[in-house]
Amino acid sequence: MTQETTKAATALPREIWVLGFVSMLMDISSEMIHGLLPVYLVTVLAASPLTVGVIEGMAEATAAITKLFSGALSDRLHNRKVLTALGYGLAAATKPIFPLASTVGWVVVARFIDRLGKGIREAPRDALITDLAPATARGASFGLRQALDTVGAFIGPLLAIGLMGLTGNRFTTVFWVAVVPAAGAVALIVFAIKEPARHGDDRKSRPALRAADLRRLGAAYWRLIAIAALFSLARFSEAFLLLRASALGLPVALTPVALVIMNVAYAASAYPLGAMSDRIDRSVILSAGLIVLAAADLVIALTNGWTGLAAGIVLWGLHLGCTQGLLSAMVADVAPEQLRGSAFGVFHLVTGAALLGASFLAGLIWDRAGPTATFSTGAMLAGLALVVLLASRRSPLRRG
């Protein structure tokens, strides 16, 4: 991080940092579980790769549908913190289900409830960040939150690897330890976040998400949603990175290394690229992210060794750094203030539905044609998304 970006980060509101640390703690918990869960499903519970894809896709779709309603509700209630805390609390409360699960059905229940919590919290949280962040530092604010979130996403798998080694590959012990940081995240958001007053918050106007409100979101917003949906079709669940590592012979206890590598690259790039997007056209960085995603898919598809796999996973992490916080900042750019929660809710709904389709497709292709065909298809979809994004640059993706 350069001196300029470091200075910009320290100037951000304290609550932006707190929300970042909340995300970091919850991701430590989640990735301790999810870094092992695909392999646990396949090797212990005898699930197929298609089943893994369906579970992951359904879980993310559940979160996406919930985000639509929680975002709109946060606009009506004029309170984003309560819903954000509720979502984190529900996710934390369901972590003990994972070590208790003895069948695939129980894992489905656990993932469903966990993602329900994610769905409740994310649209209000993103709208809260938009309310808190200076308009000239939205990219930096979302980038910082994403970077801290991703720090948790590589600490979690590292802890999982260490605990698997110490316990002789006892999955359930790792899952139990994951309960602790989730509880810490809930405590932090309850006691360390103060929601700001919003302009025009007279408690008299409580907009519902109606057709008229959808029209108020504007043409630039809907163009962005279309691009984000196509992008999500090209980016299936990271569970398939873990399955690829396992298929190449990586020992079960070390499969979370794939997530560690990915998230180091993700965390290192998310904030600098977010801050850069405050100074240049965000779509330039988003285009670069799609190019990197296509390259990552091709490298992972064609490799036969761990070195090539590691290179592909690094590229996958870089593409996340180019795109995830950036898409949220772009939504913040075009969303009307009184409909920010709804705007993020619709955004997450559409991209989640696309991710459901992508994960199902990836699992189906993997079952029928193998990993090479799966990742090659991802590369083609990323290329298609890039063509659409470049064509859309003739129309602005910022509000006035």
Neighbour tally for 185: CB within 10 Å? 25
CA distances from 140 to 92, 130, 378 (A): 28, 11, 29
Which of 89-98, 190-199, 271-280, 362-371 has the weakest average pLDDT?
Answer: 190-199
Q: Take residue 346 and report the two structure tokens written for it.
A: 């619709």
- What residue segments make up the domains of the chain, in order of their start? 12-195+215-392
Topology (CATH level 3) of domain 12-195+215-392: Growth Hormone; Chain: A; (1.20.1250)
At 2 the pLDDT is 54
Dist CA 364 CA 116 (whole Å): 25
Neighbour tally for 147: CB within 10 Å? 25
Which of 35-39, 43-47, 110-114, 209-213 has the weakest average pLDDT?
Answer: 209-213
Dist CA 338 CA 207 (whole Å): 8
Which of 2-16, 268-282, 288-302 has the weakest average pLDDT?
Answer: 2-16
Residue 326 has pLDDT above 90, yes or no: no
**Confidence category of residue 144, pLDDT binned at 50, 70, 90:** confident
**Confidence category of residue 315, pLDDT binned at 50, 70, 90:** very high
Residue 51 has pLDDT above 90, yes or no: no
Listed in sequence order, the DSSP H helices in 46-137 are 49-77, 81-94, 97-100, 104-132
Question: Considering the chain, what percentage of its residues have pLDDT values greater than 70?
Answer: 89
* Average pLDDT of every residue of the chain: 82
**Confidence category of residue 176, pLDDT binned at 50, 70, 90:** very high
Of 32-36, 230-234, 284-288, give the range with the top mean pLDDT. 284-288
Question: Considering the chain, what percentage of its residues have pLDDT values greater than 90?
Answer: 16
At 187 the pLDDT is 92
Q: Which amino acid is at 91?
A: A
Which of 126-130, 146-150, 394-398 has the weakest average pLDDT?
Answer: 394-398
Q: Model-level pTM?
A: 0.68
Which of 38-52, 163-177, 269-283 has the weakest average pLDDT?
Answer: 38-52
Residues 6+ positions from 371 with CB-CB distance below 8 Å: 240, 243, 244, 247, 300, 301
The tens digit of pLDDT for each residue in 79-97 reads 888 899 999 999 998 888 8
